[in-house]
A = this chain, B = another copy of it.
Amino acid sequence: MEEGTSKSPSHCEVTGTGADGADADPFQWDTREDCEVRQILDRIADKWSLLVIALLDRRKLRFTELRREIDGVSQRMLTVTLRQLERDGLVKRTVHPVVPPRVDYELTPLGATLHTTIRSLVTWTERHQNEIAAARAAYDAREAAQTDGAADTAGAARSVEPATAPV
């Protein structure tokens, strides 16, 4: 990710609708790793990219402001991330040639359309964080149980069906 994506991603077109991608079939998509969609996906689903886009909601933010809002990001990673997003046309960078340098970042129209989707991802997470926490606790409990006491008579730790026939 560090270096520019100078590889040559095959532009694998979707086989479905003739238009401009946007297939309706949930199954019939690429998944080839050298595919452009995969590459883009890897980028926007990036830890920091996600946060940057989520935060740049209809407002400009300065470099330092972003850095302050995104707890834990290093100056370096924020820079790199912003460059990538700028390159992908998702974020617009504006430099004010003033004495103490000032740089603003904001979403481009394209970035704004993505923002909606990202936002829904964040919302989903907020909504279900409790369920996930519960699931984790349950999983860990089972895990510990079978590692520790182990070998209980009947109840298997994970879901197992009562064998029917081999493949």
State the A residues within 8 Å of B (CB).
4-5, 11, 14, 20-23, 26-27, 29, 31-33, 36-38, 40-42, 44-47, 50-51, 54-55, 57, 69-72, 86-90, 92-100, 102, 110, 113-114, 117-136, 138-140, 158-167
Contact = CB atoms under 8 A, between A and B. Distances in A.
A98 B161 CA distance: 10
Contact of A22 (B27, B37, B90, B123): B123
B32 A159 contact: no
A126 B27 CA distance: 13
A134 to B, nearest CB: 7
Given A131-B89, A159-B94, A163-B98, A126 B71 contact: no
Contacts of A158: 93, 95
Contacts of A70: 31
B51 A87 contact: no
Given A22-B127, A70-B31, A89-B135, A100 B44 contact: no
Nearest to A131: B110
Contacts of A23: 126
A98 B160 CA distance: 11
22 contacts: A27-B57, A29-B122, A31-B51, A31-B55, A36-B133, A40-B129, A41-B125, A42-B47, A45-B121, A88-B136, A89-B136, A89-B139, A94-B159, A95-B159, A98-B163, A98-B166, A110-B128, A110-B135, A113-B128, A117-B117, A117-B124, A121-B121
